[in-house]
Amino acid sequence: MNETQGSLKQYFANIREAVTSVSKGMGITFRAFLKSNGMRKQLGSVDYGAGPVTVSYPEVKDDIPLNSRNRLFNHVEGCIACNQCAVICPVECITIDSRKKTADENLDERTPAEFGSKPKKLKLLRYEIDEALCCFCGLCTEVCPTECIVHTPEFEYSKYDRDKLTYDYLNFKDDNPLPKG
């Protein structure tokens, strides 16, 4: 509320102030209009400045960094069922069942050079992640000793049924194409 109204002088001063300040704002709008007509600013690797900023999403996709944390994926062939990811998960969305391997069983299809000092001692019976619960904090990927559980940049996996968001990685199937990596 402007309480300085009253005198005639103040009245015109108010009008002048309003016109100048609004025209200042309009000047910025006009500058932006000129810029969008071809005068695009290129600054280093990123295209900043005027011009369309919106990405028309389903047709055009924005570049997502490779290390962005979206849907989890477990490479079960590398998993040693150590249960560390299930323990660290703050929302308890990972379920692991395993049993001890028998003496004549060889669980590793990999060469010792590949698995290093972490051979498989447990047979993985169940590895499920409820992606509806997952909070994408990335703690499980950090504790994993074999680095077989990873966040993928895949984020388009919405389903009509919430049960379908529980992924069983021992027989992984999904409508969406499998992430590579």
Partner 1 sequence: MGPQHPSTHGVLRLEIVTDGEIIKAAYPDLGYLHRCFEKHAENREYLQVVPFTDRLDYVAAMNQELGYCLAVEKLIEVEATPRAQTIRVIVSELQRIASHLLAIGTYSLDIGGFTPMLYAFRDREHILGIFEELSGARLLYNYVRPGGVARDLSRGLEEKIREFCRYFVPQLVEIEELLSGNAIFMDRTCKVGIVSPDMAVAYGFSGVNLRGSGIDWDLRKVRPYSGYEKYEFSSITATLEHGVIGDCWNRYNCRMKEMHESVKIVEQALARLEAGEIMAKVPKAIKATGEVYLETECPRGNLGYYIVADGSKQPYRVKVKSPGFISLACFDELTSGMMLSDIVAFIGSLDFVMGEVDR
- Kindly state the smallest distance separating residue 123's Cβ from partner 1, in Å: 26
Which residues of this protein are in contact with partner 1, per CB under 8 A? 1-3, 14, 17-18, 21-22, 24-25, 28-29, 43-46, 48-49, 53, 64-65, 67-69, 88, 90, 135-139, 142, 151
Cβ neighbourhood burial of 160 (10 Å; 0-12, 13-18, 19+)? exposed
CA 108 to chain centre: 32
Can you tell me the distance from the alpha carbon of 129 to that of 169, in angstroms, rounded to the nearest whole number? 8
- Kindly state the smallest distance separating residue 149's Cβ from partner 1, in Å: 14
Q: Is the Cβ of residue 29 or residue 117 nearer to partner 1 in the bound state? A: 29
- Kindly state the smallest distance separating residue 45's Cβ from partner 1, in Å: 7
- Kindly state the smallest distance separating residue 75's Cβ from partner 1, in Å: 18
Q: Is the Cβ of residue 50 or residue 165 nearer to partner 1 in the bound state? A: 50
Can you tell me the distance from the alpha carbon of 62 to that of 55, in angstroms, rounded to the nearest whole number? 7
Q: Is the Cβ of residue 88 or residue 107 nearer to partner 1 in the bound state? A: 88
Q: Which two tokens stand for residue 135?
A: 């909070």
Q: Is the Cβ of residue 90 or residue 177 nearer to partner 1 in the bound state? A: 90
Q: Is the Cβ of residue 29 or residue 111 nearer to partner 1 in the bound state? A: 29
- Kindly state the smallest distance separating residue 39's Cβ from partner 1, in Å: 15
Look at residue 21 and give its three-state secondary structure: helix
Q: Which two tokens stand for residue 165?
A: 């968001």
Can you tell me the distance from the alpha carbon of 150 to that of 73, in angstroms, rounded to the nearest whole number? 5
DSSP sequence for 117-141: T----EEEEEEEEETTT-----HHH
Is there a contact between 168 and 96 (Cβ–Cβ < 8 Å)?
no
